[in-house]
Amino acid sequence: MSHIIQKDISSIISALEGETYNLNEKTILFAGGGGFLGFYFFKFFEKLISESKINLKIIFIDNFVSSSQSFKNENNKSQNFEFLRMDICNPEILNLNYKLDYIIHAAGIASPHYYRLKPMETLDVSISGSKNLLELAKKSKAKYTFFSSSEIYGDPLSDFVPIQEIYRGNVSTLGPRACYDEGKRVGETLCHIYQNYFDVHTNI
C-alpha cells in the first residue's frame, strides 16, 4: 500500500476520533469489493479495526465483471472479513443470511472502455443491483449508502458551474456514456423512493 494511501487513511481515522465505537459489533455489506474503492475500503477497515480495537464484520462482494483487482486478502484468517463472489443483480442476493447494519453500494462498471463493451450490465447494476440491495436493507433494517457520480449532471451548462446538487443536469440519454449516467440517476431515484415509501435510511 502506497505511503499516500496510508497517510490518507490515518488522517480519516484520526478525524473520526470517538465516533468509531458506533461501529462496534456491527456488520457491513460492501458491494463492489473487488474494485478500486473496495480495495481502499478494505485497507481502511483493516487499519480502523486494528487501531480502534472494535469488533466489526465486513462482507465484501463482487462478481468481477470489470474488476481487475482481486481480493488481496481473501485467505485472511481474520473473523472481521468475509469475501464472496456474488452478483447483486441476481435476486439470490436477498437470501444472504446475515443481520446487516449497513449496506454500501459501490458496485459498478465505471470505466468507459468496459461500459461501452457491457452497456446492459452497466445499466443493470444501478437498477436491479440497487433495487436488490435496497430490498436487503429493508429486510435487515440496515442503513444504505449509494455511491453515485458527478456524471449524473452530464455536460453542465456554464451558468451552473461549479455544480450544486440542486442542478438537475444536462444528460444525453442516447450518448455513449448514457448507460452509466442514467444508471446512476436511477440509483439515486431508487434511494429516494425507498426512503420516502419504505422507511429505509439512505445516503447518496
Which among 137, 143, 136 has a CA at the least distance from the CA of 92?
136
Which residue has 488481496 as its cell numbers? Answer: 72
As a whole number of Å, the CA-based R_g of the chain is 17
Residue 149 to residues 10, 70, 72, 108: CA-CA distances in angstroms?
25, 23, 26, 11
Strand partners of residue 202:
144
- Which of 115, 144, 153, 180 is an active site residue? 180
184 contacts 125 by C-beta, under 8 angstroms: no
Catalytic residue check, 114: no
The residues assigned a catalytic role are 180
